[in-house]
Amino acid sequence: MGELSGRLKKLRENKGISMDKMCSDLYKLYGVNLAKSTISKWENGKMEPTLSYARILSKYFNVTLDYITGISENKEIKDSSNGLETIAAHFDGEEFSEADKEDIENFIRFVLSKKKK
């Protein structure tokens, strides 16, 4: 848990915001109603955010989900829409939601990270 908690606290502090401001921002931007104590537990390693919250945090701080969770040191979000469009072209079914596309991107990164080992 240490890596996630440390990164989360550092990201918040680098952004120069309090936990109260972060709670307010998350509610305004994403409709997420979090208590300050929840963020404190995340930052102190007493609790980890769910995948849904981790996704929101990565968007809020504009870093990759892999960075937030400690899988990668790379914070930079790459535009991989071309790759997703290629995958989507081979899918004969429902349209992908933004959450679906993010899941696909994360799975691709996971598979690629396994190959590098």
Q: Cα(55)–Cα(26) distance, rounded to whole angstroms?
A: 12
pLDDT in tens, 50-76: 999 999 999 999 998 888 888 877 666
Q: Cα(33)–Cα(97) distance, rounded to whole angstroms?
A: 23
Q: Cα(86)–Cα(5) distance, rounded to whole angstroms?
A: 35
Q: Cα(11)–Cα(13) distance, rounded to whole angstroms?
A: 6
- Of the options 3.40.50.1370, 1.20.1300.10, 1.10.260.40, 3.20.20.20, the CATH number for the domain spanning 2-69: 1.10.260.40
The pTM for the full model equals: 0.63
Phi, psi torsion values for 96, nearest 5 degrees:
-85, 135
pLDDT in tens, 21-39: 999 999 999 999 999 999 9
- For the beta carbon of residue 10, count every other beta carbon within 10 angstroms: 12
Residue 94: the pLDDT is 66
